[in-house]
Structure 1
Amino acid sequence: MELTQRQRIIFKKVVEQFTYCAEPVGSKALMQLLDFPISSATIRNEMAVLEKAGLLEKTHTSSGRVPSRFGYRYYVENLMETSLEDPIKHSLQALFSQRHYSLDEVVEKSCSILSEMTNLTSIVLGPDSRHQVLVHVQLVPIDAKSAVALIITDTGHTETKVFHFDEDVSMEDLRSCTELMNDQLTGTPIDHVIDRLKEIEPLMAAKLVRHEVLFEAFAQTFMRFASEKVAVAGRCHMLYQPEFSDVNKLQRLMKILEDSDLFKQWTEQENNIAIPVGERNELIQIGDCSVISAKFHYSDSEEGQLMVIGPNRMQYSKVIALMDYMSSVIEGVFGLHEGGEKSDEQTEKES
């Protein structure tokens, strides 16, 4: 059904008002919100048409209407206008430009910011390194008790880790350890490196004076590298959403958010409805919940995801605009233009 301009305006106002107040919207309230003269009776007639079209629903507790799941989809695909205020853009740029961040820090920081700015639950997934292959290891000494380890994979992913040792480690040990790692571990899939590292521990013991210290440092680093990079923030925000006043429903959702496997199953159910929003974002409707995701690139071939979870009644225009801009800012942290291409400046730094 093709809506008239008046019906589109009325429907958009219903969605936006219900988003803010979580109360069914009636004709008298709409009269105050519309910027053109219209009678309450005419509004009721138009809302009846919108209800017949499946865009609005009438609740049992009020004469007002609320958007249906289909109505939210129609709003996102046809009526939503996204924009982000300049002060918010400047704040995000400032937060991420203060210093160089590692991937883990970016995942944690962006997750926290998203949750705080949307008052919803956020999840950020970093690139999955488990199926990459180790190409090179380099140890750069800082002083007698610390060194920087550089781990490079076949995708060009570089993991940087600062080792702080409890005992002095000689330059000779660092050099020998680097040679041994590259000789024995190059070509090993990241998720198999720990097993391979255990196999070569006797070689490390034979060649290195401080082999226990170096073995432990690398074991912890590879374990973290091979694990899925996930951050979750703002679970408590669900407590304040009227849609989750049912304790059993809330408990089920909390359990899903605490288990990455359960969350993946939840978002990939066959009856979910996925709606592309532009080139970067996607809206997934799961019952009375919505998940908005936005992709960001960490390197030319690796990508992560920002996600915000909340009720279907969420401020889609604000959330999507925020996530889209934050994705661009994150890519800027790693020297990438939109679309995952490295800037000339970043390429020059790496060459």
Structure 2
Amino acid sequence: MGLTNRQNVIFKTIVEEFTRTAEPIGSKTLMNLLDFPVSSATIRNEMATLEKCGLLEKTHTSSGRIPSSKGYRYYVENLMETDLDVPTKQTLQTYFSNRHYSIDDVIDKSCDILSQMTHLTSIVLGPECEEQKLQNIQLIPINSKSAVAIFVTDQGHTENKVFQFKEDVSLEDIRKCTDLLNDQLIGTPISQLEEKMNEIHPLMAANLVRHEVLFQAFVTAFMRFAQEKVKVSGRSNMLYQPEFSDMNRLKEFLNTLENGQLIREWTHSEEQNAISIGNKKELLQIGDCSVIRAKFKYSQGEEGELMVVGPNRMQYSKVVGLMDYMTNVIEDIFDDDQKKGGGKNE
């Protein structure tokens, strides 16, 4: 699209002012915002050209213009600048300077900070584990009533679970249980572990003294393991966005956010036309919603996704700048863990 330099500056100014105020932008407002002299009539002509190009559209309640969906895409691809302001960088650097956080702590906190700083909804999707297969189980006793279970999949995903038993469990039972589960469950898809546990329940009963205690502990752990790993922060922020004033639409949106699989289907549909932003980020437009998503290393060989969801009228430069910072922090900590020989839960 061959816009002149002046048209680009005018359009960039309209996008950034509208995302800040949610008010349609008129020629008089632009005259006060532009840092070069231009008449109101000239601005109106340029805005009319931008409208013909499909980048701006009129509203029914004002003579001003607002960016179109196509306009936001053009802005993100061609005009957006993503540097964070100094106070924001200093705040983030102070928080993340504590290197004692685990990678899961950092991911969760990044999700919270994104929602707070953007006043939008942020989401973390962990790697999909359901079709991965169990490769190894370790059950390490802490005392007679507690133990740590470590599950490893064929794709290197690791989950730690601390069991608190209601009754004493002997070291011999723990050893036998570990051997039995490794013998019976290795190679089983994560999604089938609960069903497989029910099949080997009689075998556990025949070989373990505290078989029922151990059975219930592992069934619960495997159910959690197979669940979609998702964290959502800032659901209530959508209440304050004028684009979500329709309560039925808001309810539908919030219901989607309650289910990790629905989120994944909503944001990964083949019908979505994603726009690349740099190496690992994308912009999706789903109706009048926009989703900025960025991939990050979650564990060896696996990726997670960090997302910010809001109306098309979001402050893209701020959102993308924050996501750049957050994903870099997550991957730096992941790399540190790998160099130290640790894992994501250590």
Give TM-score scaled by structure 2 length. Answer: 0.91
Cα offset, 1:271, TM superposition: 5.5
Report the equivalent of 2:72: 72
Give aligned-pair identity as a percent: 61
Cα-to-partner distance string for 1:25-52 (whole Å, 9 max, x where unaligned): 1111112211222222222222122112
Q: 1:137 to 1:229 in 2, by over 3 A?
A: same
Amino acid at match of 1:209: V
Corresponding residue for 1:129? 129
Q: Give the gaps of 5 or more residues in structure 2.
A: none
Q: 2-side partners of 1:226 and 1:250: how far apart?
A: 29
Give the letter for the 1:14 counterpart.
I
Match of 1:253 in 2: 253
Aligned partner (choices 90, 93, 98) of residue 90 of structure 1:
93
Report the CA distance shift for 1:235/1:349 in structure 2 as closer, same or farther (over 3 A). Answer: closer
Report the residue type matching 1:194 in the other structure: E
Question: SS at the partner of 1:298?
Answer: strand
Report the CA distance between 1:331 and its aligned residue: 2.5
C-alpha offsets along residues 52-96 of structure 1, whole Å, 9 cap, x if unaligned? 21111122221211111111000000000112342143145247x
Q: How far apart, in 2, do the equivalents of 1:93 and 1:107 lie?
A: 11
Distance, in Å, in 2 between the alignment partners of 1:172 and 1:332 is 41
For 2:330, the equivalent position in structure 1 comes to 330
Q: Note if 1:99 corresponds to 2:94.
A: no
Q: How does 1:260-299 map to 2 (within 5 A)?
A: 260-268=260-268, 272-299=272-299
Give, in angstroms, the shift of residue 260 of structure 1.
Answer: 4.0
- Give yes or no for contact 1:92–1:329 (8 Å, CA) kept in 2: no
1:231 partner amino acid = K
- In structure 1, give the amino acid aligned to 2:96: Q
Q: Are the aligned partners of 2:228 and 2:260 in contact in 1 as well (CA < 8 Å)?
A: no
Matches within 5 A, 1:6-85: 6-85=6-85
Alpha-carbon deviation of 1:264?
A: 4.2
Q: Root-mean-square deviation (CA), in Å?
A: 2.4
Between the aligned partners of 1:242 and 1:314, the Cα distance in structure 2 is 12
Give the partner amino acid of 2:339: D
Cα distance change, pair 92–327 in 1 and its aligned pair in 2 (3 A) = farther
- CA gap 1:283/1:13 in 2 versus in 1, 3 angstroms: same
Per the TM alignment, residue 179 of structure 1 is displaced from its structure 2 partner at its CA by 1.1
- Contact 1:12–1:79 (CA<8 Å) still a contact in 2? yes
Classify 1:113/1:187 alpha carbon distance in 2 versus 1 (closer, same or farther; 3 Å).
same
> Which gives a bigger RCO, structure 1 or 2 (Cα 8 Å, sep 6+)?
2
- The question of whether the paired residues in 2 share the 8 Å contact of 1:107 and 1:125 is answered with no
How many residue pairs get aligned? The number is 342
**Alpha-carbon distance in structure 2 between the residues aligned to 1:109 and 1:8:** 37
Q: Structure 1 length as normaliser, TM-score?
A: 0.90
- Aligned residue for 2:310? 310
Letter in 1 for 2:92: K
- Could you say if the C-alpha distance between residues 262 and 196 of structure 1 is closer, same or farther in structure 2, counting changes exceeding 3 Å? closer
Q: Are the equivalent residues in 1 in contact too, given 2:228–2:261 (CA < 8 A)? A: no
d(CA) in 2 for partners of 1:348 and 1:276? 30
Preserved CA contact (<8 Å) 1:147 1:162 = yes
Q: Distance in 2 between matches of 1:84 and 1:32?
A: 25
Contact 1:92 1:326 in 2 (8 A): no
Q: Does the CA-based 8 Å contact 1:107-1:231 persist in structure 2? A: no
